[in-house]
Amino acid sequence: MKQVLITGAAGFIGSHLCDRFIKEGWYVVGVDNFLTGSLENLEHLLLNQNFELVEEDVIKGLEWEGHLDLILHFACPASPVDYLNFPIETLMVDSVGTSHTLKLAKDKRARYVFASTSEVYGDPQVHPQPESYWGNVNPVGPRSVYDEAKRFSEALSMAYHRECGVDVRIIRIFNTYGPRMKLKDGRVVPNFIFQALNGQDLTVYGDGSQSRSFCYVDDLVEGIFLVSDVDAIKYRVMNLGNPDEYKIIDFAQIILEKTGSNSKIIFKPLPRDDPKMRKPDISLARESLHWKPVISLDEGLAKTIQYFQSQLEDVE
């Protein structure tokens, strides 16, 4: 049986990956320290005989007795609010933590997939962003704790590939949404939906002219699975995201329509170094993996709104 170790298994994307690999017949070792992840995301797997949960902080080290075919390093606070709350942990998990996971991949001769981000492009001056773009990152600004840690991890991964022959794959994940996002992680999708469902004002930062492109989690997971599973990878660095781009002000309006909310839109200061635009160029994934997102914003938002509604009912 093929075995995969997934760090950040209790997170939004990590937990969906656990489900997917189990569905494909793999044995999954899920590692998490529950800094930002939630046990609720994994509860349905705890009695599954092909799943094992290891509560561990990969910053402190990572050992595993059995064989491993694949390691997916997804542990990291991922929303701007979370990584600004945990700046040191963010830098450490994507430096020391990456080092520990890469060393394990080398020792086990396992394939290694690193969860990078569109944030490596910073506030981009090239639009849409292809993998060949080197980015525009403020190395000392507040977001640098995330951006530079991810950039360092990319460099370390490539060093392990070049020096030690580890079969490394780096995926740059663009804005993703869907069930299991935390209601209060501060990102725009949960914020707007939470506000709309609760009759609160929708908080648009800046004038809302900045853009983002939103990918439903199932599409992303399909892409990650393909990147992880294919034997000969053509491109070691690959963008995964949905190129459908929206201005944040228009996105707020869409959420109001989809939720049938009477909430108002109000404007708040734009966070420092907030990227003005973001849209993935997914030509490489299309060409080499025949992957593209297939879930429309309509369908994805319907599922996400339903999820947040049920979360709110649980709280009541």
Query: Applying CB under 6 A, does 135 fall inside the site for ligand UDP?
Result: no
The dihedrals phi and psi of 268, each to the nearest 5 degrees, come to -125, 160
Residue 122 as a binder of ligand UDP (CB under 6 A): the answer is no
**Stretch in the footprint of ligand UDP (CB under 6 A) among 7-15, 31-39, 202-210, 218-226:** 202-210
Question: Is there binding between residue 141 and ligand UDP (CB under 6 A)?
Answer: no
Q: How far is the CB of 267 from ligand UDP (least distance, A)?
A: 9
- Figure out which of the listed residues 87, 271, 288, 312 binds ligand UDP, where binding follows CB under 6 A: 271
Q: Which of 146, 160, 177, 216 is catalytic?
A: 146
Let me know if 133 is a catalytic residue.
no
Q: Which among 99-107, 157-165, 222-230, 269-277 is the span making contact with ligand UDP, rule CB under 6 A?
A: 269-277
Q: Is 69 left (phi over 0), alpha (psi -120 to 50) or beta?
A: alpha
From the list 99, 138, 203, 288, which residue makes contact with ligand UDP (rule: CB under 6 A)? 203
Backbone angles phi, psi at 185, to 5 degrees: -85, -5
- DSSP code string of 128-159: SB-TT---B--TTSTTHHHHHHHHHHHHHHHH
Q: What is the SS3 assignment for 72?
A: strand
Sign of CA dihedral 118, 122, 128, 131: negative
Q: Is 38 in the site for ligand UDP (CB under 6 A)?
A: no
Q: Are 118 and 175 in contact (CB under 8 A)?
A: yes
For position 248 contacting ligand UDP by CB under 6 A, the verdict is yes
Instruction: Considering the complex, state which of residue 53 and residue 183 has its C-beta at the smaller distance from ligand UDP.
Output: 183
Q: Which residues contact 306 (CB under 8 A, 6 or more apart)?
A: none
Which residue, 158 or 312, has its beta carbon nearer to ligand UDP?
312
Number of H helices, E strands in the chain: 10, 13
Using the rule CB under 6 A, is 172 a contact of ligand UDP? no
State the catalytic residues: 146
